[in-house]
């Protein structure tokens, strides 16, 4: 599967996740404070909660429900109660386009 344009780079607000759907896969797209764009599975592994409704802090995205913070780079939770990682996806920036391939898990 090829990469799909999910939004414009200019659509992203720093530290404010944007929920997108790519072929049925819900993904949170995050522009971090260092200017890097991340794509991380949107569903918390502890419960059916959308991580894009959570809080970005540095390179983590925190679930609002019970506070597990997931690494934007690896998808791994850094604290309980979640203990399973969420997937992370490779992001391509092409001009002002943000592209994600949902079948491609980012190498970590």
Residues that bind ligand FES (CB under 6 A): 44, 46-47, 49, 63, 65-66, 68, 81-82
Among residues 6 and 51, whose Cβ is nearest to ligand FES?
A: 51
Render 41-62 in DSSP notation, one character per residue: ESB-SSSS-BGGGSEEETTEEE
Among residues 14 and 79, whose Cβ is nearest to ligand FES?
A: 79
- Least CB distance to ligand FES at residue 7 (A): 24
- Rounded Cα distance between 85 and 103, Å, is 16
- Least CB distance to ligand FES at residue 58 (A): 18
Judge whether 51 and 45 are in contact, CB under 8 Å: no
């Amino acid at each position: 599967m090829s990469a799909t344009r999910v939004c414009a780079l200019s659509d992203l607000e720093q530290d404010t996740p944007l929920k997108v759907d790519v072929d049925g896969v819900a993904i949170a797209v995050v522009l971090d404070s260092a200017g890097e764009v991340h794509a991380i599975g949107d569903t918390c592994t502890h419960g059916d909660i959308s991580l894009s409704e959570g809080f970005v802090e540095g390179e983590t995205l925190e679930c609002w429900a019970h506070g597990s913070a997931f690494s934007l780079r690896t998808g791994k939770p850094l604290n309980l109660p979640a203990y399973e990682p969420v997937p992370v996806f490779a992001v391509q920036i092409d001009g002002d386009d943000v592209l994600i391939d949902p079948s491609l898990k980012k190498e970590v």
